[in-house]
Structure 1
């Protein structure tokens, strides 16, 4: 996407595809990795010393905001 920043609109939107796929995979990894496996199987939410859920949630919020921003079509 960085390389295609000075190209025409069609090429730039085509280059967004890889970032959208990567950010979607990151969000799915967060959901299944943290929410399903770590929180439920290992009881991370009960631990006072080993609770990485707030940090992981903060990271996925940033990824979702970046995903929304990248997904917006800006044809100007």
Structure 2
């Protein structure tokens, strides 16, 4: 996996990572136990964050579909 700190990702970058990886919010809910569409929505809006462990798992899900450069560019530009 990439060397990006899941705690340092902005809400906008989380949304862009999800879309770039080909997931909608409901698909994330189906893929990850304990993560609901509402959790993803709040993370992406900046109104609430997930635990560090859940953000790390979410990043790993997206990283399985993206290469390290794609992740780095999204995280650092947004």
Q: Which has the higher helix share?
A: 1
Larger Rg: 1
Asked if these proteins are the same fold (TM beyond 0.5), I'd say: no
Q: State the TM-score, normalized to the length of structure 2.
A: 0.27
Q: State the TM-score, normalized to the length of structure 1.
A: 0.28
